[in-house]
Amino acid sequence: MARIVIPSLTPHYVSSTPRSISISWPFDKSGHCVSSLLSAVKYHLHTAVLFTWTDYKTIFLPITAFACATGPVHSISNLVQCWIWMWLHLLLCNVSNQARSREEDAVNRPWRPLPAGRITESQAVGLRWAIVALCICWSLLYDQDLVLTTLGLVATTFLYDELGVASHIVGKNFCNIGGYTSFEVGATRVISATPSMDFVSITAVILSGLLIFTTIQAQDFPDVDGDKALGRMTFPIYAPEFSRTFTLLATVAWSIFLSWYWAIGPITTAFFVGLGTYVGSRYYLLRTLDVDKRSYLIFNIWLMLAHILPLHARTSLLAL
């Protein structure tokens, strides 16, 4: 499998609020065209970051943890290549999703590129298909199987955004499974020494898909107002009380099952089960918008830890 050697790392944003990117560009005073070009690059780079901003904690970091644990990570170069592959595909998904959800974002996230007026809907649709072509070509640098992973993600986003599957509770969850597992398979293949996936990797992807299917409603609680404005029927809207009870039961049950399945140590088990119980209890007991946003952040910490557990099958590092 071909590899691209990348000698340096790119810094990532870690705060929860998007900020403008400040970059100093050296150029000749007479180079007005150069200045305009670099200003345009800066503007569009900032727009791209805004498209992907909310999913660094929900997809980028958990999938990185998953790939490092199940791959496992082969080298710094492979890790950087994994980040580039994930970010391009994350941009693909977010541009596709946000191109049709200006009304929802105007309520929940008015700083996103469309409601903020940084890009028009027609431009976003055109950009979406350009990124599809870019992602296919990028995956082709590795092998044809990785291209199939990209195409699977494209099909999932098309079902989700263009065919309205996102408006149905079960259909939305199935699309979330397709999206997460596509990211997991692609990231694991890029980050590891070989393109093939062994029993541990395949099992981890299957369990992750089931985990996402039963807990992904955690992301919908803070977005109820926006989803209602867009006419979406999410689990928290359809069953406000039962969805919170189910989330509590699911996070506790998954914490216990995953600790048992990956045979982690008693101290690690106690911590992981305790965190899962805390997350589920927050969703059940604390129900304001601001608290739901905080609960979702803690949920993603729990999800990232769940994605790290397969590392124990390879290294026994979680035997405590």
**103-145 pLDDT tens trace:** 677 777 888 888 888 888 888 888 889 999 999 999 999 888 8
Q: What is the DSSP letter of 196?
A: S
Residue 62: the pLDDT is: 87
Mark the ranges of the chain whose per-residue pLDDT is less than 70.
Answer: 1-32, 103, 166
Name the one residue in this structure whose structure tokens are 């999913």. Answer: 55
Token pair listed for 214? 């039963």
Question: What letters, b where the CB count within 10 A reaches 16 and e where it falls short, cover 90-106?
Answer: bbbbbbbbbbbbbebbe
- pLDDT of 102 reads 73
CA-wise closest residue to 90 among 211, 217, 201, 186: 186
The end-to-end CA distance of the chain, in Å, is 37
Distance CA(303)–CA(151), nearest Å, equals 25
**Run of H or E including 166:** none
Look up the pTM and report it: 0.78
> Quick one: angle between helices 32-52 and 76-98, nearest 10?
80
The pLDDT assigned to 15 comes to 41
Give the Cα separation of 56 and 310 in Å (integer): 21
Interatomic CA distance for residues 247 and 175, integer angstroms: 19
Looking at residue 3, what is its pLDDT? 44
Domain ranges of the chain: 51-315
Other beta carbons within 10 Å of 119: 20
Whole-number Å distance between alpha carbons of 262 and 234: 32
**pLDDT attached to residue 163:** 78
pLDDT of residue 22: 46
Buried (b) or exposed (e) across 186-210, using 16+ Cβ within 10 A? bbbbbbbeeeebeebbebbbebbbe
Task: Report the C-alpha gap between 254 and 147 in whole angstroms.
Answer: 32
**Cβ proximity of 145 and 195 under 8 Å:** yes
Q: Which residue carries 């408006």 as its tokens?
A: 167
Q: Are 318 and 264 in contact (CB under 8 A)?
A: yes
pLDDT of residue 31: 60
**Residue 108 belongs to what H/E stretch?**
helix 102-108
Looking at this protein, which amino acid is placed at residue 41? Answer: V
295, 278 in Cβ contact below 8 A? no
Q: Quick one: pLDDT at residue 302? A: 94
Contact 259, 270 (CB under 8 A): no
